[in-house]
Structure 1
Amino acid sequence: MWQDLMTIQIPVLEKVVRTVLVYALIVLIFRVIGKSAIQSMNTMDFVVIFLLSNVVQNAIIGDDNSLLGGAIGAVTLVTVDQIVDRLAYRSPFVRSLVEGRATPVITDGRLDRNALRRLGMRPAELEHAVRVQNGESVDQVWSGVVEPSGQLVLDLRTQDQSATQADVQALTERLARIEALLTAGAGGPTVSSTPRS
């Protein structure tokens, strides 16, 4: 029994090469299916991913059912992923090769229909994203890009953005100064604008 668990049935180098090639294939598949597909995965997509792992298992381990052979495949897979991750962190070229680039889909309130077609996105998805970010329509968006992760990032026009706490605080201070000027000009007592509790 122990001998079957520990005896590697195919050469180690072949197992490493198989793992690296399968890793590259999976990265390529996910690059081809596109950013929007990754970002909006549904139940069927998860089923495909689970089945995909089973489909490529034999391509990685070959005819080797030993524990040691599986361990070599697993260590190789994790090591290759870490190397690619570090290379992508250090090199913009590798990062764009592996992850892709951000794709503009809205510019100055106008949809880029060609980009949407390439990404497989519908205008309704963008409209929904605008509403989630407190906008009312695509016309209010200064720029919108789909990041390599599939996330849609929108920048609303300045006049269409919601007020922040800093905006409210600045407005409150300005109103207090105006009130003080008006009161001083009228010669009357200053009335506090804060409500009593």
Structure 2
Amino acid sequence: MNPFLDVALRSLAVYLFMFAAIRLFGKNQLSQLNAGDIVLLLLISNAVQNAMVGSNTSLQGGLVAALVLFASNFVVKKIIFKNSKIKSLIESDPVILIRDGIVDNVAMKKEDIDFDELEEAVREHGVEKIEDVKLAVLEVDGNISVISMDKKSSGTNYSHHKRKYPRKTHRF
């Protein structure tokens, strides 16, 4: 087999595996990387390098691997953009955590968010009490968005919270 075709097929296989693994283990973990997450990503990249290029350590082999990864990512994004069924399969949906000052405890438990983390997100948006939150949404990227009612002008204020800690994925 052509050595560059071999690199291309290996790279595509690793891309698809990593894509599935991130989906299974929680892509929302990537919204805020801590030191452990960065170490894990570096170790994974080192672990799969040989699986992609095999014995071909040439510049051309590395460029073919990188090109296949970029092209695969481009194709997947185009497919997700054009097909809503595939998009819902690959990406999670936003989850409402607070509506009109009422916390959805079932959604919080399902998403492994504790009350302290929710209160922290609300405070970081400049809202003192949960009762003053019109809507708080756990977005698909793992961040919490908060829309609060401005009592002075009867308008709505919007702010976006980057999660300090990624979603927890352990299940007991």
- TM-score, length-scaled by structure 1: 0.67
1:138 corresponds to: 130
Q: Does the 8 Å CA contact 1:99/1:148 hold for their aligned counterparts?
A: yes
For 1:54, the equivalent position in structure 2 comes to 46
8 Å contact kept, 1:109–1:142: yes
Q: 1:41 to 1:77 in 2, by over 3 A?
A: same
Distance 1:153 1:43, change over 3 A: same
The Cα RMSD (Å) is: 2.7
4+ residue stretches of structure 1 with deviation over 3 A? 9-14, 157-164
Q: 1:25 to 1:86 in 2, by over 3 A?
A: same
Answer with 1 or 2: which has the greater Rg.
Answer: 1
In the alignment, what sits opposite 2:163?
none
Query: Partners of 1:130 and 1:162 in 2: how far apart?
Result: 19
Distance in 2, matches of 1:64 and 1:158, equals 61
1:20 matched residue in structure 2:
12
Choose between structure 1 and 2: higher helix proportion: 1
Which stretches in structure 2 are left out of the alignment for 5+ residues?
157-172
| Larger relative contact order, structure 1 or 2 (CA cutoff 8 Å, min sep 6) | 2
Q: What is aligned with 1:83?
A: 75
Deviation digits for residues 17-59 of structure 1 (CA, Å, limit 9, x no counterpart): 2222211222222223335522232111111111111111122
Give the number of the structure whose residues are more often strand, by fraction. 2
Deviates more, 1:138-147 or 1:125-134: 138-147
1:1-197 to structure 2, matched below 5 A, reads: 11-34=3-26, 36-159=28-151
Contact 2:12/2:69 (<8 A) preserved: yes
Q: 3-state SS of the aligned residue for 1:157?
A: strand
